[in-house]
Structure 1
């Protein structure tokens, strides 16, 4: 695993420290890893500091640097990092990185945005195999096991009383709100909105046509949406029409989540997923952030990118 740190500020990686907005942390990171690092415990910080880092600038014309994190500090809505660059490793032009971007899980358009991603790839092995790093080059960073996500281990219950006991026994941290979601088949359902479901070949079923699905339902059932003020209102209603949307239903009532975990697929094992979210990160229906995300449904895929 490795950290990919991207900024638009020229010369930032010469300073030895940098501050990211928390909203940029774990962008372009796969779901399992992002879930593991959602709340930065001491052990998570230790893991992040153990991973090698690729420090880069936005665009594809600058040099990248290899290094490691020496300190990670939460400062309100920001993350302050301190780091060291490997002085024995020369700056690497991004033009040498680009041919193996897919192997390093650097995604299309990713280098156009300031962010901090955590990638499940062996950075040194990839660079050495490509001839970018010498095979015998000694790097200071160490390698620890992948962190355990908050979903594991999963306690199992067979009765409502047992479920209630588990929920009431959970510790709730100050400043956090708890929400729940129920899946009736834990093997079949993923923790993702229906819009992002894929076929057996890994192709998105609906995402590229989101704007068409949105408008077609408005046209065919216009009377049902006349009272809706916000785009989010429409998406909520569309969700109940079974239209694939970018919304994910959660509830503050654990028994409602339990109902959905049990209501179908009786022979399959269901699950209730618990979310613990900082109050300061919770946005309401009329917030700018909620509005921006909801209105993505109205844009062409090329406009979103």
Structure 2
């Protein structure tokens, strides 16, 4: 394990050290939580199914405080379709790239309080584009909430609850609106990683005619 990786260590410490660059060093920590919620929103029922008391702590925060619409999580994983309720991101690609300096600084160090905000952010979870810069029309991205994060030998296992599905090619087409790095032949959806964007995802999706659940 090198210094440019997230690490989960002792409770109460920071996940990232305070610094002004994208190189992470030193000890880091992640306090994780997830939950069970049933929330009625505009005549639709949203059910979040998870498990432990720690999970309940985080998801109750979402239910009582609402989503954090100032930011959103983008999680891109592998080349296979996502069928389970979690993905695993390499530590060297977790909150280390495709982020503005101001967003990186806002979540550095990633303390328990800042991590609670990560759980309140709407999240896009998907697999990599099938082609360079675009994907098939039936390739669906998942929209939802992160419910838990656990350190495993292969990286960070990020659990999520799906609320909607969105055609991924539509997201490719919204690269500018969603602050996604892209060129003609390559977009962020072509590389596995986890980043945070300073964009109101729900508003931008609805402006583009893509309805999603929010809290």
Structure with greater proportional strand content: 2
The SS at the match of 1:124 is helix
Q: 2:69 matched to 1:8?
A: no
Query: Residue 127 of structure 1: which of 178, 198, 205 is its match?
Result: 205
* Aligned match of 1:276: none
Displacement, 1:75?
Answer: 4.4
Gaps of 5+ in 2: 1-70
Q: Which TM-score applies when normalising by structure 2?
A: 0.56
* Aligned match of 1:139: 214
Give the aligned CA root-mean-square deviation in angstroms.
1.9
* Aligned match of 2:127: 57
Structure with greater proportional helix content: 1
CA offsets, 1:52-105, max 9 Å, x none?
00112211322111110011234477222111000xx3x211222222211100
Distance 1:37 1:2, change over 3 A: same
* Aligned match of 1:115: 193
Q: Does the Cα contact within 8 Å between 2:77 and 2:88 map onto a contact in 1?
A: no
Displacement, 1:115?
Answer: 0.4
CA distance in 1, matches of 2:213, 2:140: 21
CA distance in 1, matches of 2:178, 2:214: 18
Query: Residue 106 of structure 1: which of 175, 180, 187 is its match?
Result: 180
Paired residues, number: 133
CA distance in 2, matches of 1:85, 1:106: 21
CA offsets, 1:98-125, max 9 Å, x none?
2221110011132211001100000110
* Aligned match of 1:92: 166
Q: Which TM-score applies when normalising by structure 1?
A: 0.41
Give the number of the structure whose alpha-carbon radius of gyration is greater.
1
The SS at the match of 1:132 is coil
Query: Residue 104 of structure 2: which of 34, 47, 57 is its match?
Result: 34
CA distance in 2, matches of 1:77, 1:63: 25
* Aligned match of 1:45: 115
Distance 1:47 1:77, change over 3 A: farther
Q: Does the Cα contact within 8 Å between 1:45 and 1:72 map onto a contact in 2?
A: no
Gaps of 5+ in 1: 141-305
Distance 1:68 1:34, change over 3 A: same
Distance 1:77 1:63, change over 3 A: closer
* Aligned match of 1:83: 160
* Aligned match of 1:20: 89
CA distance in 2, matches of 1:80, 1:44: 19
